[in-house]
Amino acid sequence: MTRFSTTFRAGLLTLLAFLIPLAAIPKAAQAAPFAAFVMDGRTGKQIHAQNADTRLHPASLTKMMTLYMAFTAIERGQVRLDTKFTISTNAANEVPSRLGLRAGQRIELRYLIRAAAIKSANDAATAIGENLAGSEDRFAAQMTGMAKALGMNNTQFRNANGLTQSGHFSTARDMTTLGRRLFYDFPQYYSIFSRRSADAGIATVRSTNRTFLDNYSGADGIKTGYTRAAGFNLTASAQRGSKRIIATVLGGTSTAQRNATMAKLLDMGFGRAPTRVREIKPEPPQYIVSRKSSRKVAEAVKKSAAPAARPASLAAATAAQASVRTESLNSALNAAMAQAASQPPKPQPQQQGNARKGPARLASSARPPARPGGARQVAQGAATDAAVQAAMAETGAAAGAVLTASARPVPSPRREATPRAVAAASTANVVPAAASQTDLTLNSSPKPERRSDTVIISSGGSANGAPEPKPSEKISRASSSGGQAWGVSLGRFKSREQADARLIQVAMQESARLQNALRHVRESSKGYEATLVGLSKVDASATCASLSSQQMRCDVTAP
């Protein structure tokens, strides 16, 4: 008996000696699965991939798509940068990082964009989604649809901010693709991702990515992300000479390790990418309106607006009136119409919170209608809202609710250097050979020209820009080298003489770009707006960048 007790005690002590060190490992060291992808930004071609198609938690890299959707809505004339969004209780209660929004508060979209892009504020991202689509669930479904349209085939969104949620996933390849689309599709807004700080209306926000931007030569964006489930994530873009490299790291073990790994990946990309290559710009996604889907939704609206259902609809609409804008209903209606047009209806029970399969495109819409002005219109709005939900539930099955199983990925690169060596290596843009087990070579590149920090986030284009599209008509976004339908607004002035004087001053100062532009002064109740029209997208963006660098107001207006 004594021998058994001695043996048991010795075995227990051995087991404890093994388990105690494991319990002492900090949670940050228990890293999420690692993935990386490097792309030549000019062509979209792969340079390096490691677990690039493994579905992982993207964390706040999600906000890249939230911002892409916001920029799309502005370009389509659904909203303006000075449109005021109402903050819901749900958005105000989001966990940090937060801007500090309050329920019921109204704030301009420009400030929400700055907070989401620079500070990675969760409350700002949620507010953008809710106001654009009517609810965060609808916005997440639209985000997933847009992801499919952009070729992000392993991405599914459940929210607008990237907080961990079942069924919310992406890949290193898809996030890199999205970073490239932001650069090419919205050059007039892209520079916001290089800002170190900005005025967000109620507070000045500082960039979560400023350390990497300051320490890596040529870096000009894009977005960081962190949750315990995701690890330390980063999608970065940098330009050196004629080369642009875009890369994504998922599952870093710390900010320093993530930044050092990203520096190695970008250095490798600059070393392997050819100096001269034909640029391949991505094709813009198309937005479609269909007569067939319009009739289907109209019939659903008619049925749901029966007299017996009106009292309940009126009560529901009254409760929701303070937080749901008519623009949101319009956007959700068009999304349902686009989904109904792509495939025959298959009645299925609606699964709450699940993104729906459907066309990978967003529907085009006319200018948002006026705000409801009476009880009858409120009831009709609620009935339409119910019909949209029914149409969306009818048109597609729910996508996978959880991350799919995959082979265990290669472990994250481990560093044997000290924290001081990590910081020194990051600052010098060179990582010691012992820093990672991956086969990444170091390459030097010439110092690039510094990009302007100017952000054209002052005001948006008019909602009266383009005529209402006819049903079944395809509408493509103009490319950066497109037609002469763009313009710039120089702001509003108290008198027509002041507006004319500013137009003449700018026309003489920027004569090389504005020689074919038309000067126009538009009178409104707010003053006299000075505008220059008949420009290409490139010339309009370049003009505003030049004027903004001189502290002169200038806003790009879309056709």
- HEC per residue, 202-255: CCEEECCCHHHHHHCCCEEEEEEEEECCCEEEEEEEEEECCEEEEEEEEEECCH
Residue 243 annotated in active site: no
Bond before 331 cis per omega within 30 degrees:
no
How far, in Å, are 64, 99, 197, 488, 509 from residue 206 at the CA level?
A: 17, 11, 4, 28, 33
Residue 60 annotated in active site: yes
Which tokens go with 351?
A: 């699964």
Angle at 512 between CA 506 and CA 515, to 5 degrees: 75
Write down the catalytic residue from 63, 119, 243, 264. 63
- Whether 165 contacts 79, CB under 8 Å: no
C-alpha 338/C-alpha 316 separation (Å) is 26
Write down the catalytic residue from 60, 237, 323, 436. 60
- Residue 194 DSSP class: G
Radius of gyration of the chain (CA): 26
Residue 65: in which H helix or E strand, if any? helix 63-75
Find out whether 494 is annotated in a ligand binding site. Answer: no
Q: Which residues contact 112 (CB under 8 A, 6 or more apart)?
A: 70, 85, 99, 124, 125, 127, 128, 200
> Strands, E, within 457-541: which ranges?
474-476, 486-493, 518-524, 527-535
Return the bridge partners of 286, or none: 476
Tokens 């490097």 sit on residue? 38
> Amino acid identity, residue 496?
R
- Residue 81 DSSP class: T
Q: Which residues contact 454 (CB under 8 A, 6 or more apart)?
A: 191, 544, 545, 548, 549
Write down the catalytic residue from 88, 97, 120, 293. 120
Burial class, 229, CB count within 10 angstroms (exposed 0-12 / middle 13-18 / buried 19+): middle
C-alpha 178/C-alpha 69 separation (Å) is 11
Return the bridge partners of 245, or none: 40, 238
The stretches of 349-495 forming alpha helices (DSSP H) are: 375-394, 419-427
Residue 85: in which H helix or E strand, if any? strand 84-86
- Whether 270 contacts 217, CB under 8 Å: no
Residue 120 annotated in active site: yes
What dihedral do alpha carbons 67, 144, 208, 281 form, nearest 10°? -60
C-alpha 519/C-alpha 487 separation (Å) is 10
C-alpha 61/C-alpha 46 separation (Å) is 20
Binding-site residue set? 223
Give catalytic residue positions: 60, 63, 120
Binding-site residue set for substrate? 223
